[in-house]
Every structure is written in structure tokens, then in C-alpha cells.
Amino acid sequence: MKSKFLRILLAIAVTYTFSALAQTGSAATPSTPAGPPAGSAPTTPAGTATGTKIGTISIQDAIFGSNEGQRDMQALQKKLEPKQAELKGQNDELEALKKQLETQGSKLNEDAAATLKKQIEGKQKTFDRAYQDFQEDVQNQQQDIATRILQKMAPMIVTYAKDNDFAMIVDTSKTWPQSPLLWWNADKVDITKPVVDAYNVQSGVPAPAAPAAAKPATPRPSPGTGAGAPAKPAAPKPSEPQKQ
């Protein structure tokens, strides 16, 4: 039986819990455990904005589109390659056993068939646990990167908004209806690029080299006879906001 492969998109995928990082309407002034780094502009208390314009920013794109974000995500991808290879090996072994049961099952005696099914079930459970642990580890490490960068970027968003007469900055990382923002003209109000450009200058991190060709995604086996619970769906890729 042919496997179903899940593409783990390390750059912008899995389920980012950005609600804890950048709430709509307060992305520029999040509270952070350690506070802003030395030399950063302090965050502005709510209700003190004096501008008149409303702007948008994709916190997700700003974080992972920055040189630092790209560098750290490439490093994470490299770090995860051994585990991805290990999971692929486990999946290949599991699929081989499923294929053996599919093609030879009718020829096996009852005891041999039961033993093979039990072996498949055991390896399926082991793989499922390892895969779930891997997903959680990826998400946690991605969130660590996002939190660290946002702590340094947030004061810059405040400064940019104040300097350019903005009264409100709305996060567009999520699309409607998850976000209350239904439509906006990105060319007129989006500040993601200038914030990223300013952050790149401040961080001093050079643009990373283009990543190598994508490697095979971490596998997720499809269920088979005696293979245990059906495969869970992949973590969704964040959809693109409705820009105009």
C-alpha cells in the first residue's frame, strides 16, 4: 500500500500559536517575560497612540521573512534531518510489512498471519508516538524562534507606527474568519516589508544563502490491515490573507 507523505513546512507551517505572540490590534505591544532588549525603544501603553492611520502587518511573515528568522529556520531544518531520516526508515519498514501482508496474507497460515498483523500493529503504534513527538518538538522549537525574534521586533513596530502617524496596527497572519479583518489594500497599509528591512539592519544578520533543494518530507504512513488507528491529518499550512 502506497504511503501518504506529509510535507512539514518548517518555514511557515505547522500550527503556529501566534495568538500567544501577537494578538490582533496589540501586535506592536506584547508583554514579554524578559522585556525588550537593551537599547530597544520601550513599548507604548495602549490608548496613547496619536496617529490617524490604520496599518497591517503579518507578524508571521515578518518573523520568518527576516534574515534572522530564515537563518534560524534553516538551522532548525538541518538539525531535524537525522530524526526525519529515522522516521522515514521506520515508515519504510512498516510499509514493507503491510505490503507483505497484502500480497502474502492469503497464503499464510492463521498463526503466521496473526503474528505479522501483531508486528504491524506494534510498529504502527511506535511510529505514531515518534511522529507525534517529532511534530510537537518542531512546533516548540519554531515557537521558541518566533518568540525570541518578536521580543526584539515588537518595539520596532511601535516606533515605525508612531513615526509614520499610525493609530493602529492589525496583525494579518491569520485570515478571515479567524481574523476579524475581512479585506485590506496591502499596497496602501501593509508595513511588513519596511519593518523587516529595519529589523535586518538592526540585527546585523546577513541574508542567508538560498536553501538547497527540498528533501523528502517526513513520512506519515497510510493505515492498512492491522495497522492500528487511521493516520491523523497533517498540520495545516497557514492560508494566505486576502490581500488586494
Least confidently predicted of 149-163, 208-222, 226-240: 226-240
Residue 3 — pLDDT band, cuts 50, 70, 90? very low
pLDDT at 2 > cutoff 60: no
Residue 87 — pLDDT band, cuts 50, 70, 90? very high
- What are the structural domain ranges in the chain? 12-34+47-208+215-220
Determine if the pTM surpasses 0.75. Answer: no
Please write down the HEC assignment for all residues of the chain.
CCCEECCCCCCCCCCCCHHHCCCCCCCCCCCCCCCCCCCCCCCCCCCCCCCCEEEEECHHHHHHHCHHHHHHHHHHHHHHHHHHHHHHHHHHHHHHHHHHHHHHHHHCCHHHHHHHHHHHHHHHHHHHHHHHHHHHHHHHHHHHHHHHHHHHHHHHHHHHHHHCCEEEEEECCCCCCCCCCCCECHHHHECHHHHHHHHHHHHCCCCCCCCCCCCCCCEECCCCCCCCCCCCCCCCCCCCCCEC
Region 158-179: what's the mean pLDDT?
92
Residue 16 — pLDDT band, cuts 50, 70, 90? very low
pLDDT at 223 > cutoff 70: no
pLDDT at 201 > cutoff 60: yes
